[in-house]
Amino acid sequence: MIIERQEQVTDAVLAELARAPNGRFKEIMAAFVRHLHGFAREVKLTEEEFQTAVGYLVALGKHTNETHNEAVLMSGSLGFSTLICLLNNGNTGQTETDANLLGPFWRMHSPLTESGASIVRSPTPGPALFVDVIFRDTRGRPIAGAEVDVWHSSPEGFYENQDPVQADMNLRGKFITDRDGRFSFRSVKPAGYPIPVDGPVGELLRAQGRHNMRPAHLHFLAAKDGFKTLISQIYVNDDPYLDSDVQFGVTRHLIGDYQRHDNEPAPAPDVIGPWYSLAHTFVMEDGPSRLPKPPITGKAQGERPNIPVLVR
Ligand SMILES: [Fe+2]
């Protein structure tokens, strides 16, 4: 159609979209165009502001490579990743869920580890942590034989693949749930860490006066045929960034009950000083078992990253 007034631009685009044979594509793109045009009208977007926005999109691409995805980081920083997660889990957003963000550090082929064993594979100073988890279906029945990957940052806030000091696969393990749906392991208490701020996400955070910290957490990825793959994080309950996670990942249900023990004997005789324990029961929903694409494939070369910490 020939456009005569600004109002007609939206109709012109929607009319062309009506030709798309894929119904779902048509539905998504039509809503996207309506909201995008409506957004520009609502804020009366100037030409300079439009150029800035295009610059952000270009910068997202330029700051993305084999080991870093700036677009995912931006999505998290706008709360969009958590919104998508909560809309698609917990009975399509009706009930609480163990589902959470995957994050950028999951690796395939974590070493198969016996229940009860340690995932500390090279010297990693920090408070000992003993974890005991159970996996159940939505009817409360234990899920035996689920494959569960566990991974987390060190007490200094680095994943092994970022840190030349840690052995390959340190603080990572793959466990199989037993007939009661359970397994346990030993590790060290993780620390929170800053997300990179050298790209457009950094600009976004600085413009809002936000910090760039994620609160400490353990990652879990559980898979078994017949169940929707469960990606989860259990957050450390004494972390100062719990209520201001830069990625908006923390939900009330996933704040873990990490208990500090000062004077009780630890489950292992070599533990010195205070130690922590965590127990959590995960619920897996019915659905297709699909693994995500691993965001990273191996250990990064070189030094530990030196990421600045922004103050809120
Ligand atoms: Fe993480």
CA of 18 to the centre of ligand 1 (A): 42
Across 26-40, 117-131, 284-298, least confident range: 284-298
Checking if the pLDDT of 300 tops 80, the result is no
Cα 170 to averaged position of ligand 1 atoms, centre (Å): 14
Cβ pair 172, 111 in contact under 8 A: yes
User: What separation in Å is there between the alpha carbon of 188 and the centre of ligand 1?
Assistant: 15
If you measure from the C-alpha of residue 30 to the centroid of ligand 1, how many angstroms do you get, rounded to a whole number?
Answer: 35
User: Which residues are found with C-beta within 5 Å of the ion, ligand 1?
Assistant: 103
Token code pair at residue 267: 């489950």
Cα 102 to ligand 1 centre (Å): 8
CA of 217 to the centre of ligand 1 (A): 6
175-210 per-position pLDDT tens digit: 999 999 999 999 999 999 999 999 999 999 999 999
Residue 121 Cα to ligand 1 midpoint, Å, equals 18
pTM of this structure: 0.94
Mean pLDDT confidence for 36-52: 98
pLDDT at position 248 is: 98
User: What confidence tens digit (pLDDT) does each residue in 235-244 have?
Assistant: 999 999 999 9
Q: Which residue has the tokens 């917990």?
A: 90
Lowest mean pLDDT among 29-43, 53-67, 213-227, 273-287: 53-67
Instruction: Tell me, in angstroms, the distance from the centre of ligand 1 to residue 31's CA.
Output: 33
Please give the share of the chain, as a percent, with pLDDT higher than 70.
100
From the CA of 92, how far away is ligand 1's center (Å)? 24
| pLDDT of amino acid 286 | 95
Distance 271 CA to ligand 1 centre (A): 25
